[in-house]
Amino acid sequence: MRAIKYLVLHCTATPQTTTIESIKDYWKRVLGWKNPGYHFMIKANGEIVNTFPIENIANGVAGYNTPSIHIAYIGGVDAKNNPLDNRTDAQKASQIKLLKELKLKFPTAIITGHRDFPKVNKACPSFDVKTWLKQINF
C-alpha cells in the first residue's frame, strides 16, 4: 500500500442527481483520464460508492495524487453552477463514517479540501473543511 498523507474532500460540481457513470464517462471521454478522479463518491442518499481501489492513484488534485485518497459528494453547485454546500444530512453522515474508517487505517493522514492545496483555484468542495471538522468535533 502506498503511503497516505491526505484524505481529500471534493464535490463533483454537478447536480445532486448526476449519476456516477456519467461522471466517470466525462473523465474518460472529455478529459481523457485513464484513472478516475475519486476513490469514493457519496450519493445524495448517503450511499458510499467505492469507485476506485485506494491502492491505486486517482486524479483528484494535480501534483498531490500519489499520497492522497479522494472522496467526493455528488453535488456542490447550485442551478447556475455557482459553488454551494448542498450536502444532504445523509452525505455528511457518510463523510464522517468514511473519514473515521480511513483515519483508523491512516491515522496520520491530514483531512483537507481540494481547494486547500497550493495553486488550486476552485471552490471544491464548496465548504471549509477545517471549519466543518471543528464543528463536528472531528
Query: What residue ranges do the domains of the chain occupy?
Result: 6-135
Q: Give 108-131 pLDDT, tens digit per residue.
A: 999 999 999 999 999 999 999 999
- The answer, as to whether pTM is greater than 0.85, is yes
Q: Is pLDDT at 1 greater than 90 in this prediction? A: no
DSSP assigned state of 3: P
In the chain, beta strands by DSSP E = 6-11, 40-42, 48-50, 68-73, 110-113
Q: Are 72 and 125 in contact (CB under 8 A)?
A: yes
Q: Domain 6-135 - what CATH class?
A: alpha beta
Identify which of 100, 98, 69 has the alpha carbon closest to the alpha carbon of residue 7: 69
Q: Cell numbers at residue 40, please?
A: 469514493
Catalytic member of 39, 43, 70, 114: 114
Q: Tell me whether residue 6 is one of the annotated catalytic residues.
A: no
Q: Is pLDDT at 71 greater than 90 in this prediction? A: yes
Catalytic member of 97, 100, 122, 130: 122
Catalytic member of 6, 38, 43, 70: 38
Catalytic member of 6, 10, 11, 43: 10
Q: Tell me whether residue 11 is one of the annotated catalytic residues.
A: no
Distance CA 125, CA 122 (A): 9
